[in-house]
Amino acid sequence: MGMLDGKVVAVTGAGRGVGREVALLCAAHGAAVIVNDPGVGGGGEGGDAGPAQQTVNDIVAAGGRAHANLASVADPAGATSIIEDAVQRFGRIDAVVNNAGILRDTIWHKMSHEDWRAVIDVHLNGCFNVSKAATPYFREQQSGSFIHFTSTSGLIGNIGQANYSAAKLGIVGLSQSIALDMARAGVRSNCIAPFAWSRMTASIPAETPAQKARLEKFKEMSADKIAPLVVYLASDAAQEVTNQIFSVRKNEIVLFSKPRPVRSMTKVEGWTPESIAAELIPAFAPSFARADEVSAHVFGYDPI
């Protein structure tokens, strides 16, 4: 008996990397899987049916059920086709895994409008499009699980990824609102920030000794380590788990806090710019996040 027996799961970006591993494990746990992937390059260029079909072939060869969908999640009609394929071919939809993504990294002052729009369209708008398409079915059956992939680039920050970071933090806000709005229908919405070696993390610069060392650590974190948490969140065992932000880092699973006040200071007569400079900032400064903070500062230890 698998944790997902009888369920139907749609996984976007499932032709390679993390999405592929998620699709394979969902199928191994009994789910019928819609394997969505248009087979584009890392920056969203081109298209190839091969990756999605290969994942489907591997699931079927192992005795599972799967169907390939080549639509772009950035296209509302394409996103809708992912959910319709699930319902038409397998009779229902129980979980949506919003994993599809592209990267167009560049330092902020060189980022083009096109690079901004392309990344926002796939990550944030794509997440909205697929989730929106599944929502009527989830409401009708009074159950369902959304599992959205965020990133520490959004939760913490990263250099050269303003578009990606903004999209990934936006996904957290979207997930929170879905969780609150859909709770009455028994629908859950959670986020996962994965640490894993894939095409996307392979683009991390590796010029300095420190950068090369960081890259080697990433190579230790294989994509298959992410999949068990996804299977759990898609299952009935997670019925009480919603509106959370998780991270997976090799064999470590982390629960992230949401932004909460860390310091407060009141001046009953009101603040002036001068008193802010003289009193407030010196009091707050010990609690400031470091100006150059990236995930390596937060996770300052080797993957476990």
The residues annotated with a catalytic role in the active site are 164
Q: For tokens 């091969």, name the residue.
A: 50
Cα–Cα distance between 120 and 73 in angstroms, integer? Answer: 11
β-partners of residue 54 are none
Cα–Cα distance between 178 and 112 in angstroms, integer? Answer: 31
137: left (phi over 0), alpha (psi -120 to 50) or beta: alpha
β-partners of residue 98 are 148
Cα–Cα distance between 284 and 90 in angstroms, integer? Answer: 55
Classify 12 as helix, strand or coil. strand
CA-based nearest residue to 192, from 162, 151, 222: 151
Q: Are 151 and 99 in contact (CB under 8 A)?
A: no
Residue 113 CB coordination number (10 Å): 7
Classify 157 as helix, strand or coil. coil
Cα–Cα distance between 304 and 302 in angstroms, integer? Answer: 6
Residue 160 CB coordination number (10 Å): 19
Please give the backbone phi and psi of residue 216, each rounded to the nearest 5 degrees, phi first: -65, -35
Token code pair at residue 191: 């986020």
